[in-house]
Chain A
């Protein structure tokens, strides 16, 4: 299979969906003339024109609000948030408007709006440009939240998000943009709400997504050398969570470790752990373990930043504990 970068995969998804459906357009800061700060929009204006690939003012509230209005008026907007951290500037539009309008209006409308949100730690961007805020949106009924870890899912989930009649937050880890991976040719879609078992195993289940998926896969290789056979699940969608795939795995392994780059407190891992404890306690042979960032803002200095990042070593140690 051909290999392309994560960034190229998202670009293919955009181009294919914009060609397929003229209601799809994209707007955001620095996307048209500059092609996006990670090059993820390069060439789109030449192909589709500046009406459908729009540079916006630095006005997150107006941009997302306009996305809501355009969706109500029959378009299928994609809004680029530049950095996921900037969603905090327009939380009303995300939480009170795009998430709730369909329900508040009694199902009169759909809300086919995608927010692209580059997140995660990269190159000492510090506390306001490095966050992983995905768990916030899992708490809001009406939103769907996807978070790919590789180019194939980056393409498949973006295409599925654009075709979704519900609002989707699409988190894309900034450090993943240049990474390469196999992507199927043609109209490749990844279903929203479906996790993937990316490495089958029998001794414990490791659940992750986005950047830390790669740390989990590295850890699995190390653990295999030590006789521990880890099953790795890439959640891919975190709202709704594919709980059935998790239970099927636990029925086999009986041990659960959840890993994410986001702060551990109140994270996606907390929700999964709570649900497993409530609904599938009998499947467990050991306490549930979680790995996430400590309860601090992301620091600037490389010497400090590395201390809040999850490493493969952290995962190996936690897995060893669980399987003792």
Chain B
């Protein structure tokens, strides 16, 4: 991990953002196990360097699409922990007023065009918002997060081809966490690197260590520069690993114990912490302060979610249409 281009402040900021995701998802997992929230959650634990590294390389006006494993993407793009936690609880104060839940969190104001419950569905949406930027002549670019599983969906290929042909300002960031639910990528894919597929569309394909935040940040910054200069899309593949199951409660019987242990040795937060302390030995107090502040933020988020009301029954039929003027619709 090369810390040179980044100052201590930058590294501490990266660490804080990664820790927000880690503690948010560990808390959500704990609450879920206690039966305190409905539905299902897919945690981002282990992959934090990808979302934070990517979003730190973007500008505030840039856009992202996220996935069913999207808590990390939304927090990294500036999402609020309390509003997100409230959504996980199905409360009226949540990002989607309780109508979306974990898999549909969006904040259009922050450029988060939504998590998505359908594998790969964010990829063409990202191409579309990039097309909008191109037509409007805007500076903003779009980054699509998706997993290794999505790279085997047809829409991945359609969208990459179209975005390449039109030189759209978009970054396709594949988070290869090695498993599509229970199936190892090696069993369903005949190539070592998904990034190789970029060749088929005439765009750069880059493999990056997804547990090294600085490597991710630099790769995304380069792709963003290319997109902003009108040179078109880049396919990035961040090699990473999810520490927990596909969903909470998944016993992960399909993963070898040694594999999990080896990847935990490469925990992205531990690595960044070591990098920071190696370069800035006096940062220990700052790191402790960050941990306390993030713990307080997450605790406050849980209190906010628990204290918030459930949605009013009448809201079940609102927001289907922008103009709710058709009484035959609500009947």
List residues of chain A with CB under 8 Å of any chain B CB.
25, 51-52, 56-57, 59, 61-75, 77, 92-93, 96-97, 101-111, 141-142, 144, 164-166, 193, 239-243
Check A69–B328 contact: CB distance below 8 A. Answer: no
Can you add 16 more A-B contacts, CB < 8 Å, to A93-B124, A107-B319, A165-B323? Answer: A51-B134, A52-B135, A62-B124, A62-B158, A62-B162, A65-B125, A65-B159, A70-B131, A70-B132, A72-B129, A73-B128, A102-B321, A109-B106, A110-B322, A144-B321, A239-B329
A144 to B325, CA, bound (A): 12
- With A61-B124, A65-B121, A106-B99 as known contacts, state yes or no: A73 contacts B328, CB within 8 Å: no
| Residue pair B117, A96 in contact (C-beta under 8 Å) | yes
Most B Cβ at <10 Å: residue of A72, A77, A110: A72
B124 and A240 form a contact (CB under 8 A): no
Whole-angstrom distance between the alpha carbons of A106 and B107 in the complex?
10
Measured CA separation A193–B318 after assembly (Å): 18
Contact status B96-A142, CB under 8 Å: no
Which residues of B (34-91) have their CB < 8 Å from a CB of A? Answer: 63, 65
Cα distance A309–B121 in the bound complex, in angstroms: 38
Contact A66/B319 with A61-B158, A106-B96, A109-B108 known, Cβ cut-off 8 Å = no
What is the minimal beta-carbon distance from A8 to any residue of chain B, in angstroms?
Answer: 26
Chain A neighbourhood of B113, CB < 8 A = 69, 72-73
Q: How many angstroms from the CA of A164 to the CA of B63 in the assembled complex?
A: 24
- Asked, given contacts A25-B135, A61-B124, A108-B96, whether A69 binds B130 with beta carbons under 8 Å apart, the answer is yes
* A75-B95 CB under 8 A given contacts A65-B125, A97-B125, A243-B328: no
B326 close to chain A: CB less than 8 A: yes
Cross-chain contact of B159 among A66, A142, A193, A242 (Cβ < 8 A): A66
In angstroms, Cα B137 to Cα A249, docked, is: 52
> Is the beta-carbon distance between A104 and B104 smaller than 8 angstroms?
yes
Please tell me if the beta carbons of B123 and A65 are within 8 angstroms of each other in the complex.
yes
For A109, list chain B residues within 8 Å (CB): 106, 108
Q: Nearest chain B CB to A259's CB is how many angstroms away?
A: 20
Closest to B170 in A: A69
How distant is B77 from chain A, measured CB to nearest CB, in Å? 14
Inter-chain CA distance A56–B142, complex, in Å, is 20
Known A-B contacts A105-B96, A240-B329; the reply to A67 vs B128 at CB < 8 A is: yes
B152 touches A (CB below 8 Å): no
Inter-chain CA distance A69–B159, complex, in Å, is: 12
Chain B residues within 8 Å of A165, by CB? 322-323
Selected from A64, A73, A103, A144, the residue in CB contact (under 8 A) with B129 is A73
**Residue B252 at the chain A interface, CB threshold 8 Å:** no
**Cβ-defined contact, A142 with B320, below 8 A:** yes
Tell whether B243 is near chain A: CB-to-CB under 8 Å. Answer: no
Q: Which residues of B contact A57 (CB under 8 A)?
A: 158, 161-162, 165
Let me know if B328 and A103 touch, CB within 8 A: no
Is the beta-carbon distance between A65 and B155 smaller than 8 angstroms? yes
Question: Quick check: is B114 within 8 A (CB to CB) of the other chain?
Answer: yes
Q: Could you tell me the distance in whole angstroms from the C-beta of A247 to the nearest C-beta in chain B?
A: 11
Residues of A within 8 A of B124 (CB): 61-66, 68-69, 93
**Given A105-B114, A142-B321, CB of A70 within 8 Å of CB of B129:** yes
In the A-B complex, the 4 residue pairs with the smallest Cβ-Cβ separation, listed nearest first, are: A69-B128, A65-B124, A66-B128, A107-B319
Q: How many angstroms between the C-alpha atoms of A94 and B321 in the bound complex?
A: 15
A69 CA / B128 CA spacing, docked (Å): 4
Known contacts A65-B125, A92-B121, A104-B104: A59-B319 contact under CB 8 Å: no
Please tell me if B100 contacts chain A, counting CB pairs below 8 Å.
Answer: yes
Q: How far is the CB of A101 from chain B (nearest CB, A)?
A: 7
Q: Once the chains bind, are B321 and A105 in contact (CB under 8 Å)?
A: no
What is the CA–CA distance of A77 and B124 in the complex, to the nearest angstrom?
Answer: 14
CB-defined contacts of A105 to chain B, threshold 8 Å:
95-96, 99-100, 104, 106, 108, 114
A69 to B163, CA, bound (A): 13
How far, in angstroms, from A59 to B118 measured CA to CA in the complex? 18
**Once the chains bind, are B99 and A103 in contact (CB under 8 Å)?**
yes
Question: B325 to chain A: which residues have CB within 8 Å?
Answer: 193
> Which of B94, B104, B126, B318 has a CB less than 8 Å from the CB of A69?
B126
Q: Which of B298-331 touch A at CB < 8 Å?
A: 318-323, 325-326, 328-329
B97 interfacial contact with A, CB 8 Å: yes
B154 in the interface, Cβ–Cβ < 8 Å?
A: yes
Nearest Cβ on chain A to B316's Cβ, whole angstroms: 10
Contact partner, B322, options A92, A93, A104, A166, Cβ 8 Å: A166
Within 8 Å of chain A (Cβ to Cβ): is B98? yes
CB-based nearest B residue for A99: B320
With the chains together, A247 CA to B199 CA distance in Å?
61
Residues of B contacting A64 in the complex (Cβ-Cβ under 8 angstroms): 124
> Given A69-B129, A70-B128, A105-B96, are A62 and B320 neighbors across the interface (CB < 8 Å)?
no
Identify A106's interface contact among B63, B100, B132, B165, CB under 8 A.
B100
Contact B326 A240 (CB under 8 A): yes
Question: Which residues of B are found within 8 Å of A63, using beta-carbon distances?
Answer: 124, 162
B residues near A141, Cβ cutoff 8 Å: 320, 329
Q: CB-CB contacts of B136-172 with A at 8 A, as 1s and 0s?
A: 1000001000000000001100110110010000000
Bound complex: CA A233 to CA B127 (Å): 42
Q: Decide if B97 touches A107 in the complex (CB within 8 Å).
A: yes
Instruction: List chain B residues, Cβ under 8 A from A52.
Output: 135
Report B-chain residues with C-beta under 8 Å of the C-beta of A72: 108, 113-114, 125, 128-129
Q: Which of A51, A62, A141 is the most central at the interface, judged by chain B CB atoms within 10 Å of its CB?
A: A62
B184 at the A/B interface (Cβ < 8 Å)?
Answer: no
CA A60 – CA B328 in complex, angstroms? 31
- Contact yes or no, A103 B320, CB < 8 A: yes
Can you sample 5 A-B contacts with CB below 8 Å?
A65-B121, A66-B124, A68-B125, A70-B135, A92-B155
Q: Is the CB of A193 within 8 A of B125?
A: no
Contacts of B318 on A, CB cut-off 8 Å?
107
CB nearest neighbor in A for B87: A106
A69 in contact with B158 given A106-B95, A166-B322 (CB within 8 Å):
no
Known: A65-B121, A66-B159, A68-B124. A51 touches B135 (CB 8 A): yes
